[in-house]
Structure 1
């Protein structure tokens, strides 16, 4: 092990002990330390997983009736032995680290207009669009909640440890995949460009393959094909739709243009197929929307409102 690796391991141990402190509040500094070097994330999560295994062994140890007193505190014998074994596991090669049985939640959020890439412990990546929010638990590095916005998942597949994404009441299970997920006002949209994803929603289940997309909402599961090359087009400022409802198009535009885009009554269920570049000037964007969608774009204090185009 090189001197650099030893130093990273010591720093990772220090962070792990500090993170386990209930009073810990330096999440931004912790996140910045992880992001600065991929070796840091790999080392931290490796040690955290070892810590979790030790705690799991401690929790599963049988409890016997005969207590043993030590410094005024009593522990059942088997639990005390399990505690010693857990410490020994943690100490082997890395030194003592503290642990906690409590969840260790953390969240990452992007501001509108910002994109951010997270590299997880197993090498999986999450590319977050602007206005997105993820919630995770450090003890469950292959489980993610998408609480808002849009994200692209490039998952390192592991058959023994499924990668799960939860969006509201819908759970997505990686089957070896690159997939795009958007949280909508009424449900979730999933599009797959590589591998497969299982979608388990309140109103049904489906397995999506490359080129498949579905919106899971109170309406049920709405399937439609997508161009696999366009699934992550939003990263370069291009949005694409295939027979999509205008209420969903408006949500995508609101997020991409960083301004509210609303619909006049009666437009929500109108369908649209096509693409739009979001890097143009607002004037050009409005003209393009009016041409493509067959609407009039009205600007007011709340943003843009799409209205039916007056009959000639």
Structure 2
């Protein structure tokens, strides 16, 4: 091992110990160190995995027998009470260390309405957040993400040994080597794949999506439909595209893009729509264009917009 590699490993060990401290709060500095050199992240996560394996080994290891006391060459076993006290103490220390090293290290990323942000993860994966979006993660489980609201595009570095998992509502998405778009809906989730594949598990149903596949997971089940691969990330350029999408889902996309509540009449909710719309800064102009595009009446009330037949 070179002197540079030794320095990196020592620094990684130092960060690992510090991150395990419940009082640790230097997350920005930790992220900057990981991003500064690919070897930093590789070394850190290798040591973190070794630590995790050690924790599992400690949990499953059989209890060690107490050592006897030796006096003048004669061995006397420790008194029963002393043995019990030592065992309880060792167990408490072991369980305490396990709990300490496995304590979640949560963090979240949130964007304001109209803001977009790209987050780079230690393994090279990237997540682009749309406006009004919130992600939660655990620094001890860097390949598990929860989309709590909004929309995000995932560009994932595939790893057979460590699948990338996204939780959204009641759905669990597992990366199979992928670029995919995920939207948190009021009653479920929407997933569209432009590269690779994703497994979707929701409410007992399972579907594997390939490029050009999209699915809405809702109380109605998994509703599949095709999607234009080139249009999967159009929202990053301010353009919304739909292909056979339900109007209640279209309304949610518009509400997030325009940062205003948009409700839809029950009679319109199940109607399907195909088309696209460029989102501009003039809300009044958008209102008229939406009415023409969707073939609806857009009513402005004190709570936002309401789409009526």
Q: Bin the TM-score by the shorter chain.
A: 0.7 to 0.9
Give the structure 2 partner of residue 18 of structure 1. 18
Cα displacement string for residues 273-312 of structure 1 (whole angstroms, at most 9, x for unaligned residues): 100111342122112101101122222332222222xxxx
Give the structure 1 partner of residue 32 of structure 2. 33
CA contact (8 A) 2:15 2:30 kept: no
Cα displacement string for residues 46-90 of structure 1 (whole angstroms, at most 9, x for unaligned residues): 443343333333333332232699xxx9469x99xx9xxx9xxxx
1-structure distance, mates of 2:196, 2:226: 15
Aligned: 1:174 with 2:167: no
CA contact (8 A) 2:171 2:203 kept: yes
Instruction: Give the match's secondary structure for 1:287.
Output: helix
CA contact (8 A) 2:41 2:123 kept: no
TM-score relative to the length of structure 1: 0.80
Instruction: Give the match's secondary structure for 1:23.
Output: coil
CA contact (8 A) 2:34 2:122 kept: no
Instruction: Give the match's secondary structure for 2:153.
Output: strand
| Higher helix fraction (1 or 2) | 2
CA RMSD across the alignment: 3.2
Displacement after TM superposition at 1:11 (Å): 5.9
2-structure distance, mates of 1:228, 1:53: 40
Q: Comparing 196-205 with 57-66, which one deviates more in the overlay?
A: 57-66
2-structure distance, mates of 1:258, 1:64: 61
Return the index of the structure with the highest Cα Rg. Answer: 2
Number of residue pairs matched? 288
Name stretches of at least 5 consecutive residues in structure 1 with no aligned partner.
87-98
Name stretches of at least 5 consecutive residues in structure 2 with no aligned partner.
70-84
1-structure distance, mates of 2:236, 2:3: 37
Instruction: Give the match's secondary structure for 2:32.
Output: helix
- The verdict on how the C-alpha distance between 1:35 and 1:20 changes in structure 2, with shifts beyond 3 A counting, is closer
**Residues 116-155 of structure 1 correspond to what in structure 2 (within 5 A)?**
116-155=117-156
Instruction: Give the match's secondary structure for 1:100.
Output: helix
TM-score relative to the length of structure 2: 0.81
Give the structure 2 partner of residue 304 of structure 1. 305
- The verdict on how the C-alpha distance between 1:114 and 1:51 changes in structure 2, with shifts beyond 3 A counting, is farther
Displacement after TM superposition at 1:121 (Å): 2.1
- The verdict on how the C-alpha distance between 1:182 and 1:31 changes in structure 2, with shifts beyond 3 A counting, is farther
- The verdict on how the C-alpha distance between 1:203 and 1:292 changes in structure 2, with shifts beyond 3 A counting, is farther
Instruction: Give the match's secondary structure for 1:267.
Output: helix
2-structure distance, mates of 1:281, 1:153: 30
Instruction: Give the match's secondary structure for 2:268.
Output: coil
